[in-house]
Structure 1
Amino acid sequence: MVNGQLSFMSILDRNGQVVYDAHSDREGAVDGQELNTLSLERLGWTISSGIKKGNLYGWVSVVSYVWVAIAVVTVICAIIYIIYITRRNYKPIQIIMNRIEAHQIRVLEQSGSRTDEMKLIDGVLENLINHMMDSDKKSRENVLLQRSKLFNDLLNGENLDHAVERLKDLSPLTGMDTSSCFAVVVGEINRYEKGFQEQFTRGEQNTLKFALMNVLQELSRNADMQCWTEWVSSDQIAILFLSTDSSPDMTEQIRLVAEECRSWVEQNLRISLSFGIGPIAEGIKAIRESYMAAETVMHRRLLRDGDVALAGQWRDQLEEIFASFERDKLPDDEIHSLVQAMLQMLSREVAVMSEQLQEKLSEENINKWLMLMKEAETLEGVKDILFEDLTDLFRTYVSVTETKSYKAMVNEMKNYIEEQFANPDLSLKHLSDRFQITGKHASYLFKTEFNMKFVDFLTELRMKETERLLKNTDLSLQDIAQKVGYANGITLGRVFKRVAGITPGDYRRMKREHHDPES
């Protein structure tokens, strides 16, 4: 119970005689420090204990040495860690400094003067910041270009393989899928050249167009609808509406938004607008049909009733006709006779426009439709059959009218190219500005109509004129190049050899050698 190395204990009676002595006879007990004393009155004993001299300091010293060792180890570890972290984080700075020194050595060898390091670092940082700002700006511009391209692809029905993913990434529309319903509205500024352009400066025009986009988006949000707006030409804006629940009132809601926008803009911005509303398109691939129908409405300005017109209003009128059939309780024979008369009248009015429509409304097809309607058991069944057939007919009609309206423009474009092929600035951009259509659309129309690219057609015209000048004149290649629209003779020679297979000089020599024997 008692450690003889550290402590001692003794028991004394009333007379001071030692009753029990534990380790008190060893070294250090006599001069040790007595810590505890206990008196037993009944026995008259006194118990005392304490620590021998020198052992308390030794025990405390042991404890102190442990803490000192821990502190020393901690400091050493901290120093090692600081050195490691410093060396690791200093490596990029060291690499930069090495490059600066290498650059200074090269400059010193070339110019003989040493540049200021701080000035060099400041210039590098400034260039880096400018580069990052330019990169961010180009990135934003790239997003805008991709967004505009996606919008045009949707309207033209092109590149729709991953359209849903692109819409989610680029468009402001949310919550869409492959079964979502869309509708396209085309808005047009009335009297654009005579009113809008003459009344406002270029900067004011851009501001008003931007304001119009914001007004449309705000009115759509107020009507709990989503829309995406883009200017498709200088005077036309296309609005793509999205509905995720295929509401039957979507067309009416769009009409109210368009009417409210037209009224607000006319009152506050003093701009007159017209809107053409396309039919509801079920799925992304049907957006093109909605856009074409809205465009068709805008091309019939003189036939529109008001500044907000719906495409496919024949459906509403046909609904009213069948409602009157049901209301008047007409017999089956009269209903079939009226439908037959309507189809025959439609054939006389529309079939003459094209062979496609003539085939659709042939007597054989009309009789087939009438037979299917007679087999229907209800009036609703008759209406469904007629609606399906007339919808297909309407799509053909829209396609034919669009082709006819563009055909004249494409022919005019072809004549313009034939007259201006010697103009070095003649390009798709030049044609788009001249005919107020996009360059991509101009290229598409040209290839569709003439089965060749615009560039190939232009090159063919220039090569024919080059051959004529090489054969009949002594003009130099440089002079001929300027006459056919090329900047220099080198470019003309390269193109001519690619097309004809021989150089212009060899062609001229061959033609003249062939001509001399005949003469």
Structure 2
Amino acid sequence: MKKTWYHRLILSYVPVIFLLITVLIFAALSVISEVSIRETEKANRVSARYVMDSLETRLRDIERAVLEEMGGSAALDAFYNPDTPADPLLPYEVSKGLHRLADDHPLIHSIYLYRARDGVVLTLSGLEPAASFGDRAFVEEAAKREGNSPWSGVRGLREWLGEPETEVISLAKRALLPLGGDGIVVVNVKARGLFAIADEMINKDLTYMEIRRGEARLYSSYEGAPGEPSAEPTTRLHSEALGWEVVSGIKPGALLGHLSLLSHLWVWIGGFAIVSSLGYLFYITRSHYKPIENIMKQIQTYHSTAAARQYGSDEFSFIGRVLDTLMNQTAQYEKQYKEDLLVRRRQVFLELLSGRPERSAAQWEELLARLGIGAGARRCTAAVVEIDRYARFREKYSERDRNLLQFAVTNAAQEFAAREGMTVWAEWTDEHRLGVLFLEDGASRESGSPSEVLDRLRTWTPVHLNLSLTAGVGRGREDLTHAGDSYAEALAALRCKMSLGGGRVLRFEDRDGQPAGNIHPYFGRIDSVVRSFRLADEDWDDEVSRLLMALEGDLLRDDGILVLLEYWAGALRRSMEELGGDTLAYWVREAEPELLRAAEELDTLEELLPVWKRTLEELHRQYLAHTDRCGRRGLAGEIRRFIEDDYANADLSLALISDKFGVGAKYASQLFKDEFGMKFVDYLCSLRMEHAKRLLLETDASLPEISQQVGYTHSISFGRTFKKVVGVTPGDYRKYMHPPGPRGMAGESFS
């Protein structure tokens, strides 16, 4: 193809090229400088607006989270309520809420509560008097103000003596809502982290930015340069919510500023040269430019002249680059849209299952339809799929492999549901838990049930992914607003995983209303097993087996089982420390680590209890071997059995034992202590108190009768000894520990 049109263009412009070239060089530099300044000012305004919006959003999020915690925390209400009974665990419960709030918002430096009636401050570390609190001045000033205080300026905070001072911005809210006369809730936000967005958004070589609160300067991009900048600011933004002002502009001398000193004469000369050439250029160019004139007009509808100069020196380059830019922007937009959609889907999923949906059923259906999930779905069923033995799973696989396996589990759940004609929405709510929401419309109720889909999933994963899963399924709900209730039931079903076993589907409706077992009776049985261990009881193995069989046969919640195991390990630890010697060394070296490892790594009692039984039996053999080496075990056992048979004898003493077994009282006392790790008097007292507790709970006998039955001639001596050993009087023990229900304690229900 001949380039005739190209050559005509070249020859047409030759007469004016030499005329304009010199003028345009200088004029162009001036224009470029002005254009650059305008574009920089425009970008500076956008950056300032973004910084202000970001600051408002972050601080409003924190303030909203604090208000939600103040309005929804029963522990916080109890902390400020003067009528609340004293509870030593109350500060811990309130502190847990504060820790959760600080963990959800990384910008929070610290949170503390000031209670006005007794002048105490509850921090993330605990309670302390306000008089010795490091931030007392701010608390006192906030308490004197009427109403809630706005966000403060940047101030130095030192909560403890010797602690380095931290720059924070503080918010003081009166508690409790709505009147706020009980105290102050103070939230301190890290100033450096809050204003980091400003450092990211500006080019310190070209522009500056300041954030002010009245006359006070909260942030400045000038590093070590005191005083106001010499250049006039180009942008001033004021936040009504925060009372702050963002001031920004171009630094003096930036952006070819020296060219602005050129004489405007060059502009006049350039203008004259251009106007003189317009007639000639218009005549020559008109015939050549007509074919692309319409295209340029269409493009310039969406792009400014400055943007045209940025893209190139001729129209064809401009058109080509605009097309390239539009295609790149379209591709980037589609990619960003897909990423944002995944994040948005997870946020909506968590909101739907939170139990606090603020939308109606119709609004939820519309939102899910926009997200491309379950169009027309009304009925929903929630489930939770949990990875069994997650500690081993985490240790075995790298983070990348774990993510791949979790992705495979999610896809498998969706595929199995699709085969049954069901729609599944699945998101990982925790590292080891997959939240699953089955969505159905009226026509899909004849398809498979969620339990069948999950049963296929938990059967498929061990074979193909070498992964064991346990699923909890809640009951179905007729509309999406109650999806949170179904999700709570699914979690409740999983709480009995240790008793019911892993690698299966646990349905809430199978145990609806069935109470979970009570753990309180097991504490006494554990104490009895530990005591029999120390006394080298011959029936110890049978007693341990009965206790383990009872645990395995009862329906207990997972957290209750872990409490019992921790209590058992603690009781054994204390006994081993009292015994000392080789038995304590074996406990520290072998037994205790094995017990704790099993409790941490194994998910079900079926796996866990055999490990505990084997470990405890080996510990018992070690203890018996140690006592046999002393050679006096037989005599000590006879003395112990005599005490157990005759504990109700008020005359039982070392003298009586000395006469009975023909040994000295001092020798008998030392023998008993060596063999069983406790003094004769302490053992007798403990034995009598255990029988007294049983009589108080299982009979209606009076206190004098019980004192006679356990070897005390005077009920006053019995009461004094009982309170010293147990911690409460016999009457209070009977009152508070007497079982109210047919099982001994009130059961805990799934519902």
Shorter-chain TM-score category? Answer: 0.3 to 0.5
Q: Could you tell me the TM-score, scaled by structure 1's length?
A: 0.39
Q: Could you tell me the TM-score, scaled by structure 2's length?
A: 0.27
- The structure having more radius of gyration, on CA atoms, is 1
